[in-house]
Amino acid sequence: MSPSTGRKPRLAVLVSGRGSNLQAVLDAIADDRLDAEIVGVFSDRPGAAALERVPLALRWSAEARAFADRAVFDAVLADAVDAVAPDWVFCAGYMRILGHAFVQRFDGRLLNVHPSLLPRYKGLHTHARALEAGDREHGASVHFVVPELDAGTVVAQARIPVLPGDSAEDLAMRLLPEEHRLVVAVLALASAGRLAEHGGQVQLDGQTLFKPLELDSDGILHPGSHS
């Protein structure tokens, strides 16, 4: 229950693909590891496998390419999301850039998971880019969304070592379960009313977070040591 409203925090989830992060959230809710309710799953791709993970009544989709431009699609999507009155909007593999108006409308309650240690490797092909750069560590970030791609303030990160001989697929496969744990841990903070963003700064329990939180091997978040 949310301490302020006495009801379960309402999550809207935006998806474009297979939906393994959405599934991690569903599983955490089912196992009582996350005290929240998914009130809608929204997709720019009506064929997205992620949609199948929730009952029909929770699904909303529209083919983004059929709209005149991004602003028109974003406005329709924003109305649909608003209609379910979410406390938090979580982008779980949502692969379209959200425009200024959308971000503004859900300002302070819009989170995204990205498969890199931001600010490194915004955009696509993050695993291959980490390998090409010879990085010894790779990871995932959950951040507040701003109109610039993958540029919002980072709340928390999960790290994995890059092992000799790793391919981009190996890295992606090893990172995914950590990503899932990271997402659940951050959504638990958000749902408990412990997370906020003001003026580009993340606050945890009312205190400004100067470094992203870090996930440990038990799925617990700790104060971060990396900027």
From 125, 71, 81, 128, select the one nearest 106 (Cα to Cα). 81
Given the complex with ligand GAR, which of 39 and 41 has the nearer CB atom? Answer: 41
Comparing CB distances to ligand GAR, the nearer of 174 and 193 is: 174
Residue of minimal CB distance from ligand GAR? 93
Contacts of 57 by beta carbon, 8 Å cutoff, 6+ apart: none
Min CB(78)–ligand GAR separation in Å: 19
- Could you tell me the smallest distance in angstroms from the CB atom of residue 123 to ligand GAR? 7
Q: Residue 40, Cα to own-chain centre: how many angstroms?
A: 15
Please state the closest distance from residue 93 (CB atom) to ligand GAR, in A.
Answer: 3
Residues 10, 114, 127, 181: which binds ligand GAR (CB under 6 A)? 114
Residues 156 and 152: their CA atoms lie apart, in Å, by 12
92 lies in the site for ligand GAR, by CB under 6 A: yes
Q: Name which position in 10, 11, 13, 19 contacts ligand GAR (CB under 6 A).
A: 19
Alpha helices in 88-224 (DSSP H): 100-105, 126-132, 168-191
- Please pick, from the candidates 2, 8, 20, 67, the single residue that binds ligand GAR as defined by CB under 6 A: 20
Pairing of strands 137-144, 154-161: antiparallel
Residue owning tokens 């199948």: 52
Does 18 participate in binding ligand GAR (rule CB under 6 A)? yes
- Of 9, 10, 12, 21, which lies in the binding site for ligand GAR, with binding defined by CB under 6 A? 21
> Would you list the DSSP string of 186-200?
HHHHHHTT-EEEETT
d(CA 186, CA 149): 20
Tokens of 6: 């006495």
* Nearest approach, Cβ of residue 114 and ligand GAR (Å): 5
Place of tokens 């799953």: 41
- Tokens 């951050």 sit on residue: 186
Give the count of residues interacting with ligand GAR (CB under 6 A). Answer: 14
Polymer length of the chain: 227
Helices (H) then strands (E): counts for the chain: 5, 12
**Closest CB to ligand GAR among 36 and 113?**
113
The answer to whether residue 114 is catalytic is yes
Interacting span for ligand GAR (CB under 6 A) from 5-13, 107-115, 199-207, 210-218: 107-115
Residue from 12, 13, 41, 50 in contact with ligand GAR (CB under 6 A): 50
Which residues of this protein are in contact with ligand GAR, per CB under 6 A? 17-21, 50, 92-93, 113-115, 140, 150, 179
Active site residues: 114
